[in-house]
Structure 1
Amino acid sequence: MPKYNPDYFKEKFPHLFKEIKNRSETVEIESIRTSSDEGKKATKEDSRPNIIDFLRLCDTEDEALEIINHMEKESKIKPSYAKKLRQQLTHKGLRSFGSKRKPGEYSFIEQKSE
């Protein structure tokens, strides 16, 4: 990977350099999807709650692990996917699945603000 040369970058991309330096126009990333299939599934209009929706309800990693184990035991998710979820939970934490959600809020239903 090439080394970062700030002078070259500043000369070639002055506006972008300024934005990066001032940290303007930043967007916080609250979660990661390790499976593109889960992302596609979450965008379907007729989707039902998936394991990620349930994990986002959890307050602790122990609760999340219990849900993963239960879903795997009931054959709701494949063992290989359960393993990936456990690894993500261990290495990236509970909130890597998304921000805490309230019961009744789902990623595939547009929420109306009051």
Structure 2
Amino acid sequence: MIDFEIEEFRRRFPNLYREIVQKKMSIRIDAQRDSEERAEEAMNVLRGGLPGPVDYIRRCDTDEEAIKLVDYLESRGEVTKEEADRLRKQIAEMGVRSFGPKKELGYYSKFIR
């Protein structure tokens, strides 16, 4: 990685510096994925795949509701014990919104055109 002093960076890349300082073209990251595979699974739903545990969790309002959902999915065999434990741990440590913003009614319809 190249080390730059701020003034040197500003002088060499004035437009990029301005965009960074003014936060132009910035996006907010609302979710945490622990693997590239899980990120790909999340995108699969948008391509017409079946929703997974994280998709259901993102519809929950509270951590307690999300834990009950994980318990239910585990009891039906839709997630393994290890996966359920990992989901519960993330909910307990970081909260339900660590999976992404709440998916409201009509979430997927905005992707279908």
TM-score by length of 2: 0.74
Partner of 2:52: 50
Q: CA 1:83–1:7 in 2, change beyond 3 Å: closer, same or farther?
A: farther
Q: CA 1:86–1:103 in 2, change beyond 3 Å: closer, same or farther?
A: same
After the TM superposition, which of the residue ranges 36-45 and 69-78 deviates more from structure 2?
Answer: 36-45
Secondary structure at the counterpart of residue 71 of structure 1: helix
Give 2:66's aligned amino acid.
Answer: A
Between the aligned partners of 1:19 and 1:38, the Cα distance in structure 2 is 31
Aligned pairs (5 A) from 1:2-41: 5-41=5-41
CA contact (8 A) 1:53 1:106 kept: no
In the alignment, structure 2 segments of 5+ residues that lack a partner are none
* Higher helix proportion: 2
Q: How far has the Cα of 1:59 moved from its partner? A: 0.7
CA contact (8 A) 1:30 1:98 kept: yes
TM-score by length of 1: 0.73
Give 1:66's aligned amino acid.
Answer: K
Aligned pairs (5 A) from 1:62-77: 62-77=64-79
In the alignment, structure 1 segments of 5+ residues that lack a partner are none
Between the aligned partners of 1:70 and 1:7, the Cα distance in structure 2 is 56
Q: Quick one: higher RCO (CA 8 Å, sep 6+), 1 or 2?
A: 1
CA contact (8 A) 1:31 1:95 kept: yes
Q: Percent of aligned positions with the same letter in both sequences?
A: 30
Give 2:69's aligned amino acid.
Answer: I
CA contact (8 A) 2:32 2:98 kept: yes
